[in-house]
């Protein structure tokens, strides 16, 4: 399952991406915000989406806020999440190929729709390489996470 969520700063781009994904026959579930609210806070949406993604290794998510950074910080607090805030096609590909990211964090204020389409498409259709060095690094992260969080 692919999930998507945003705060007010990413709301317009989230709504656009839902239409973009539907146009390309990619099903997505909107976790919120379901209406524009200038006073909302991103952690609420980041945690809700991240818990859903963490519940099944086949799930992935897209988070949008003003810079993409706040959502990324919050998402990475949830065990099992590997969220990346990316800014171009190359960084999107690297985040999947090398780091097996399961959440893509995007800026609702700094990226054009065209840039976002390229980033999202690259991220969605790039798989994890599975190379031994990347697996080793992900295992180190998982071991640290297991030993340091309740």
- Domain borders along the chain are 2-148
- Residue 95 has a CB neighbour count (10 Å cut-off) of 24
Comparing C-alpha atoms, which of 1, 36, 28, 2 is closest to residue 108? 36
Q: Which residues pair with 78 in a beta bridge?
A: none
Residue 150 is predicted with a pLDDT of: 47
pTM for this entry = 0.95
* pLDDT < 50: residue spans in the chain: 150
Q: Residue 85, SS3?
A: strand
Residue 146 is predicted with a pLDDT of: 85
Query: Domain 2-148 is of which CATH architecture?
Result: 3-Layer(aba) Sandwich (3.40)
In this structure, the strands spanning 83-85 and 103-107 are parallel
Q: Give the helix/strand (H/E) hosting 104.
A: strand 103-107
Residue 147 is predicted with a pLDDT of: 85
pLDDT digits (tens, 9 = 90+) for 58-73: 999 999 999 999 999 9
Q: Give the helix/strand (H/E) hosting 124.
A: helix 113-124
What's the rounded Cα separation, in Å, for the pair 93 and 101? 10
Q: Residue 5, SS3?
A: strand
Residue 122 is predicted with a pLDDT of: 98
Phi, then psi, of 110 in degrees rounded to 5: -115, -5
Residue 145 is predicted with a pLDDT of: 87
The gap between the terminal CA atoms of the chain, to the nearest Å, is 26
Q: Is the dihedral of CA 92, 96, 98, 99 positive or negative?
A: positive
């Amino acid at each position: 399952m692919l999930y998507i969520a945003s705060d007010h700063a990413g709301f317009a781009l989230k709504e656009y991406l839902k239409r973009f994904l539907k146009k390309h026959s990619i099903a997505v579930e909107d976790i919120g915000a379901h209406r524009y609210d200038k006073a909302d806070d991103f952690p609420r949406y980041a945690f809700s989406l991240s818990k859903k993604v963490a519940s099944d290794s086949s799930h992935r998510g897209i988070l949008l806020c003003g810079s993409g950074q706040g959502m990324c910080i919050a998402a990475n607090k949830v065990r099992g999440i590997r969220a990346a805030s990316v800014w171009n096609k190359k960084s999107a590909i690297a985040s999947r190929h090398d780091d097996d990211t399961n959440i893509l964090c995007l800026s609702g204020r700094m990226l054009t729709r065209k840039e976002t389409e390229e980033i999202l498409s690259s991220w969605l259709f790039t798989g994890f390489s599975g190379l031994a060095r990347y697996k080793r690094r992900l295992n180190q992260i998982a071991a640290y996470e297991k030993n340091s969080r309740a």
